[in-house]
Chains A and B, each alone.
Chain A
């Protein structure tokens, strides 16, 4: 389909404290459910959205961390994480959740679609995208 646009969702804020991360995730799920080509990028404090083991039991907010793991099922192919943002916060890929992707028809599988990119690669991703949403 030539009319499928490439959507990139840019996530720059910490997961809890504001509604941005959850709103972004909901929009992503809706967009992906309608067969858009969807990728996500995590920059600045947005990288905390993918850090394993979050516990919101004292925050009175739903812990939506498990929901990121469904993104592969929704056909999302790439979760890009900005390398510099990660390093500036003392984090590595080992601190991040893994999200699997599988094509249910061809049974092609990718164990983890979370990918760390440097600024040059990130620019490439922006250039390839038709639409960028910033949250």
Chain B
């Protein structure tokens, strides 16, 4: 297991870079991970990250990308509930990448 440094704290991550302990999360985690990926987080990214955190809080899982797409469409509007928009924001895959930034485990069913 490795660690990432967020605001002076060393946080454990698993071999794929997901936060080992969901309670370690703070917004700085997403900032640091995005920077490593060469991505600048905009309000649009944060909408999805916050959406995922709310979803996990309510259902205790990270949704599969198909479910994420539909749920985003329902909550944030149809123009955002499509893969093109979500992959535009998170080129490594909205499920994997956004969940990682949100401090969630890898979505169930993701390989």
Contacts and interface: CB of A to CB of B under 8 A. Distances in A.
Given A73-B70, A104-B73, A67 B60 contact: yes
B109 A29 contact: yes
Interface residues of B, number: 14
Contacts of B32: none
Q: Per DSSP, are chain A's interface residues mostly helix, strand or loop, or mixed? A: loop
Interface residues of A, number: 15
- By secondary structure, the B interface counts as helix
Contact of B60 (A30, A66, A73, A104): A66
Contacts of B66: 33
B5 to A, nearest CB: 28
Contacts of B59: 66-67, 69-70
The 9 tightest CB contacts between A and B, nearest first, are A33-B64, A30-B109, A33-B109, A70-B59, A29-B108, A104-B70, A66-B60, A66-B59, A67-B60
